[in-house]
Chains A and B, each alone.
Chain A
Amino acid sequence: RKEVEQDPGPFNVPEGATVAFNCTYSNSASQSFFWYRQDCRKEPKLLMSVYSSGNEDGRFTAQLNRASQYISLLIRDSKLSDSATYLCAVKPYSTGGFKTIFGAGTRLFVKA
């Protein structure tokens, strides 16, 4: 089993739709969680950290469920410019936080 798993998609949604991605992790000692956005042939860029109480940044909401060991990303009112691959990342406490483990990504296509 992979340490961090994501549905590769693709998710095809119309503009204005709400879309949610989940990401599961296997190490219960994981400490920090992140969502990154990666455009085609570009580098990943940090979208948001995921806090225990959940957090929101504009149209983006991230949640953490430690009991079920998953994080989620909700995108409201999808824009064409949201089309990208979304990577989740987990930093296990046991490694002292040096080694962030990335999921393989979920592809999102937003259509007009």
Chain B
Amino acid sequence: DVKVTQSSRYLVKRTGEKVFLECVQDMDHENMFWYRQDPGLGLRLIYFSYDVKMKEKGDIPEGYSVSREKKERFSLILESASTNQTSMYLCASSLPFGGQKNNYGYTFGSGTRLTVV
């Protein structure tokens, strides 16, 4: 069974801490994404990567950075955690886009519920 694995299911961090969220996929997917999901706001894209060492900003990149040193791993970093970053963080991966592959959706990890106190 193909998988996207997020390292932590629940995380509690203090304001100002540097936080690392890890995501690993075993599907050899080129594209990886980080979203956050908040009630009423839906899924909002933070960063994505379409190749190793490549990264692109999404809609809400402020306060976050990412790292993709290996194809299977995409890390999200909260440089200095703040209470407004309390959220559900979802990692996803997908095949590269083009042709019929555009009709393939995303595979999501089970999410990390982060609370910043």
> A residues near B, CB below 8 A?
8, 31-32, 34, 36, 42-46, 49, 51, 87, 89, 91, 96-100, 102-105
Q: Contact partner of A31 among B43, B48, B102, CB < 8 A?
A: B102
Does B61 touch A at the CB level, under 8 Å?
Answer: no
Contacts between the two chains (Cβ within 8 Å), count: 52
B97 touches A96 (CB 8 A): yes
**CB of B67 closer than 8 Å to a CB of A:** no
B5: min CB distance to chain A, Å: 11
Once A98-B31, A99-B48 are accepted as A-B contacts, the answer to whether A104 and B40 lie under 8 Å apart by CB is yes
Whether the pair B106, A87 counts as a contact (CB closer than 8 A) is no
The yes or no answer to B85 lying at the interface (CB within 8 A) is no
Contact, CB under 8 Å: B90 / A43: yes
> How many B residues are at the interface, by size bracket?
20 to 34
Interchain CB contact (< 8 A) of A99 among B42, B58, B90, B108: B58
Given that A42-B110, A43-B111, A97-B98 are known contacts, is A105 also in contact with B42, CB under 8 Å in the complex?
Answer: yes
> With a CB–CB cut-off of 8 A, which chain A residues contact B97?
91, 96-98
Report chain B residues within 8 Å CB of A99: 45, 48, 58
Bound Cα distance A37, B58 (Å): 23
8 Å CB interface, B36-62 against A? 40-43, 45, 48, 50, 56, 58
B114 to chain A minimum Cβ distance, whole angstroms, is 14
Closest chain-B Cβ to A5's Cβ sits at a distance in Å of 10
Complex A-B: 22 CB contacts under 8 Å: A32-B102, A34-B105, A36-B105, A42-B111, A43-B109, A43-B111, A44-B43, A44-B108, A45-B108, A49-B105, A87-B42, A87-B43, A89-B105, A96-B97, A97-B97, A98-B50, A98-B97, A99-B48, A99-B58, A102-B43, A103-B42, A104-B40
